[in-house]
Homo-oligomer: A and B are copies of this chain.
Amino acid sequence: MEGQGRMATPSTGRTPAPSAERLHQDWDELSRFADPDLDGWTRTVFSEAYQASREFIRGRMEDAGLSVTVDAAGNLVGRLAGRAPGAPALMTGSHTDTVRSGGRFDGVVGVLGAIEVVRALREAGISLQRDLIVVDFFGEETNEFGLGCLGSRALAGDLGPAHFDRTDPTGTHLGQRYTGSGLDPDRAMTADWGRREPIHRYVELHVEQGPVLEERGSEIGVVTAIAGIERLLARFAGRQDHAGTMPMGDRRDALVAASEAVLAIRREGCGAPVYGVATTSRVDSQPGSPNVVPGSTSLYAELRSIDPDWLSSAKQRLAQEISAKAAEYGVAAEIEWRHDNDVVPADPDIQDVVAATADELGLTWEAQPSGATHDAAHIARLCPAGMVFVPSQAGRSHCPEEFTSTEHIEKGVRVLASTLVALDPL
């Protein structure tokens, strides 16, 4: 694709010039909102730190000249009016919540970056024809209810009663947490943006969260697709025996069967033909007592790929291999797949515009899939959507070590600004 994309020409002769200094300052200030009791930076969705941080974001949006509202789903929505009222708007944004003990960049780049785009547009005297909508999406990170992208999901019309019935490990319903945060679940379910107004294009700036851009020395990632996710819960039923008295050959050890599955899952990921990964995150064995052969084990894993065919065939192969291997140990395996996310291809035109913009700005770029899910995956149901990545140092993410330099962020913000300008013409 390199060099073959459509050229992105701003509608004025001037180019928006984001300020690294302002970005740096915003980062410093936002980073102060974090749970003091945990390592790194923690602003989980229903926390006080998150609530306080969004007041800060709202202030920054207003300072940049956006009219700000909070929608029924908790999304913080800033609007910069364009010259052609009624034309479908451009939308950009991301999220400012974090995982527990997370970092300062995941999501934040797309929100503070978008606010800087607005400031840079105004400074450059560029006024768009379309309204530009900047969204700080509510609760993107997967929470203790096993659900992420709360705000973008609602906006895409995909938040329903079953979601609010989910419970966390303490038995609290998601709906109760909404109410406790001043949100009405019934109203949140009606926040579908498609009912309100059409959106022209959505572009999201984000950190890569992987090592590829840094390894290849590229400044910009042009996202080709957001990976689909299939989650696996495998339950192994063997037989609980005394670990001192049951001879090795007579055992039906559920943890041994699960360990074979962990290795099979890894091999499947290593053999993926295009982008594909396979991860076991957890193996719980019962009873877990030092002198007892594990009688039952649960294994939690996931597959991700941008290739639906591979996802589908890998699921079949793994189900067969895990069951067959378990049977060799006299252990029964029950395999349950839960479909999490479809593969979401990025809009090809937006990919071309981002790539051409990077070329024009003299930045090196790389076409790449996103292994992580983003708000863009949901907004893609409303309009053509695309993403711009900037490098993550050593590929680290969801940890305090997560880092992207202000220099890299500033380049990403330049690409985002010019891309939005290039997508603006009616």
A253 close to chain B: CB less than 8 A: yes
* Per-residue interface assignment for chain A, residues 85 to 114, with 1 indicating a CB less than 8 Å from any chain B CB and 0 otherwise: 000000000000001000000000000000
Contact partner, A210, options B208, B246, B259, Cβ 8 Å? B246
> In the bound complex, what is the Cα–Cα distance between A397 and B290 (angstroms)?
14
* Per-residue interface assignment for chain A, residues 241 to 259, with 1 indicating a CB less than 8 Å from any chain B CB and 0 otherwise: 1111111111001011011
* Cβ B279 vs Cβ A288 within 8 A: no
A372 to B: closest C-beta gap in Å: 4
> In the bound complex, what is the Cα–Cα distance between A255 and B269 (angstroms)?
15
In chain B, what residue has the closest Cβ to A341? B244
A424 to B: closest C-beta gap in Å: 31
Interface-centre pick from A146, A288, A370 (highest chain B CB count, 10 A): A288
A160 to B: closest C-beta gap in Å: 21
User: Which chain A residues numbered 254 to 308 have a C-beta less than 8 Å away from chain B?
Assistant: 255-256, 258-260, 262-263, 266, 269-270, 272, 277-283, 285, 288-294, 300, 302, 304
Chain B residues with Cβ below 8 Å from A66 are: none
The count of chain A contact residues (Cβ–Cβ below 8 Å) is 62
In chain B, what residue has the closest Cβ to A212? B247
A211 close to chain B: CB less than 8 A: yes
A65 close to chain B: CB less than 8 A: no
Chain B residues with Cβ below 8 Å from A260 are: 259, 263
Chain B residues with Cβ below 8 Å from A279 are: 243, 253, 291, 293
* Cβ A283 vs Cβ B263 within 8 A: no
Given A285-B282, A302-B290, A395-B250, check contact A243 B142 (CB 8 Å): no
Chain B residues with Cβ below 8 Å from A399 are: 240
A371 close to chain B: CB less than 8 A: yes
Question: Beyond A245-B371, A247-B277, A256-B266: 5 further Cβ-contacts under 8 Å?
Answer: A242-B395, A245-B370, A246-B395, A248-B270, A250-B395
